[in-house]
A and B are shown apart, each in its own frame.
Chain A
Amino acid sequence: MTAATDISNAPNALKILGLQKEYIPGKPILKGINIEINTPGIIAIIGPSGTGKSTLLRCINRLIEPTAGEIIFHQSNLCLAKGRQLRQLRRHVGMVFQEYNLVERLSVIENVLTGRLGYMSAWQAWRRKFSQDDIDMAFQLLEAVGLTEHANKRADSLSGGQRQRVGIARAVMQDPHILLADEPTSSLDPKTAVEIMELLEKFAEEKNIPTLVNIHDVNLARRFAKRMIGMSDGIVVYDGAPEGITDDHLKQIYGGESWLV
């Protein structure tokens, strides 16, 4: 019991208890999710479209308001956080999006720097007063994702894979204690998808960040995940090692079996 308490006190521990979300009253999309996360590395969430994977991730950083339940992060309930407290919790939760969501008219390096906005006052943001440390870190991250020579290009001039690298750099720039990636590879070709997963894995291990990745490609998930969570119809139906997931589980998660070749 004491050991469990210790783990939940770690800065990158996340505990989701009985999380529910209804967009339409009486029609829950998340029906009581319980997940505990405290180890670094990629945790893949698999499941069919429309089962609430995206909703789950967006509830964690409160881009979507949960209907009921608790999300414990930094010893406080994220579901109840408001205003400044919410923003301070949010800045330690990095997010990578399916369609990259870069600010297209800003340059690549400016996009990476926006990851620091949570640490700056409005007045500093207005004067574009990023600290020298932030600027140095942004260029280091850009080098780590292999885009140094694109630093001053406009974000909308990059290819999909390059944009996602910028998206990852922006999320890591936040100094996140946990990373959320919502279908980060779904808009990319298979080779680029693997490269993006490798990059997420690299940051997860180097910086000790638990990284929750929504993904519908089961094989890609198996290849990178240390732990897999299978969701179906708003509940968690599998939570464990990637090796433990069987065809029966997959049938339960996705339904049917003709696609299992």
Chain B
Amino acid sequence: MAGVNASKHLDNPFKRNWLITGLWALVAVYLIYSVQTMGLSWTRFSEGLGHAGQLFDRMFPPNFERWELLLSGLAESLEIAIIASVTGIFLSLFLGLFAARNLMPSWVTIPMRGLIALCRTFHPVIIAILFVKSVGFGALAGILTLVVASIGFIAKLFAEAIEEISLKQVEAIRATGAGFVSLILFSVMPQVFSRFIGFSTYQLDSNLRNSTMVGIVGAGGLGGTLFSAFQRFDYDFVAAILITIIALIMFGEFLSNIVRRIFR
């Protein structure tokens, strides 16, 4: 173009951003510093691998001799997961609805969102310890832990799903003179139901996994059996428990696939 001065170079729009380059350099430096202060080295790593080899030797073959103990732990874990999932999902339906900002006034949603956020704040291990200390050892503490964990996770997702619905459909049902409950049942639920099923099966999956963990801090289930086997160095029994947990999780996956297929 005639108007452009040929001797003047125009800037490349993809400029190097020195701030971002600097930040990356900082991350790299911190990473090297951290590795050094923790004394991580190749020799330490290969030494560790040797230990792992010994452990694996002692784990095989897995020992299923105490299968009755294993089975009762498994049953308890399964019960904890199912009870906690049903209760947690049921409560989350209401909490999620009351936390949806498009349907509820802010004086309802703000406390609800606070409650849900509180349920999400702590890792299940910490909640499990708190419940073991407050309600005592056993399955009840595990159930309460997973109920809280379920609420923290799916009540939030439920609320978000409800906030994304089309309000036109809600408006139309409201115009028929329907009351609040009918409004929810016939204009909100049809729009979110399949997503709710998705979230719920995911939560069941996650509760199954976590139900084997809460036992480690004394809140019932297979985790307790696992922990004591570790402490007695019964590594072949540990292997048996781990295999059982894998089977349990795969069974859960299978179950949630079926549920999802039914409700698609």
Contact = CB atoms under 8 A, between A and B. Distances in A.
Chain A interface helix/strand/loop/mixed: mixed
B187 A88 contact: no
A102 B169 contact: yes
A101 B176 contact: no
A95 B186 contact: no
B117 interface: no
Interface in B68-82: none
Of the listed residues B171, B179, B182, B187, the one surrounded by the most CB atoms of chain A closer than 10 A to its CB is B182
B181 A114 contact: no
Contacts of A125: 178-179, 181-182, 185-186
B175 interface: yes
Contact of A90 (B176, B180, B185, B194): B176
A185 B223 CA distance: 64
A237 interface: no
Contacts of B178: 87, 114, 117-118, 125
Interface string B71-99: 00000000000000000000000000000
Given A103-B190, A117-B182, A174 B174 contact: no
B176 A170 contact: yes
Interface in A78-132: 87-95, 97, 99, 101-106, 114-122, 125-126
Nearest to B173: A114
Contacts of B174: 63, 90
A102 B172 contact: yes
B177 interface: yes
Contacts of B169: 101-104
Nearest to B175: A95
Nearest to B187: A103
Contacts of B181: 122, 125-126
A97 B186 CA distance: 18
B102 interface: no
Interface string A54-92: 000000010100000000000000000000000111111
B191 interface: yes
Nearest to A114: B186
A103 B176 contact: no
A47 to B, nearest CB: 22
A103 B171 contact: no
Of the listed residues B168, B175, B185, the one surrounded by the most CB atoms of chain A closer than 10 A to its CB is B175
B190 A117 contact: no
B168 A101 contact: yes
B177 A63 contact: no
Nearest to A117: B178
Contacts of B190: 103-106
Interface of B: 166, 168-169, 171-183, 185-187, 190-191, 193-194
7 contacts: A90-B175, A117-B173, A117-B176, A122-B179, A125-B179, A125-B185, A126-B185
Closest 10 CB pairs of A and B: A118-B177, A91-B177, A122-B181, A117-B178, A101-B172, A90-B177, A125-B182, A95-B175, A105-B190, A101-B168
Interface of A: 61, 63, 87-95, 97, 99, 101-106, 114-122, 125-126, 167, 170, 174
Given A88-B177, A103-B186, A114-B178, 14 more contacts: A63-B174, A87-B177, A87-B179, A89-B177, A90-B177, A91-B176, A97-B168, A105-B191, A114-B187, A117-B173, A125-B185, A126-B185, A170-B176, A174-B176
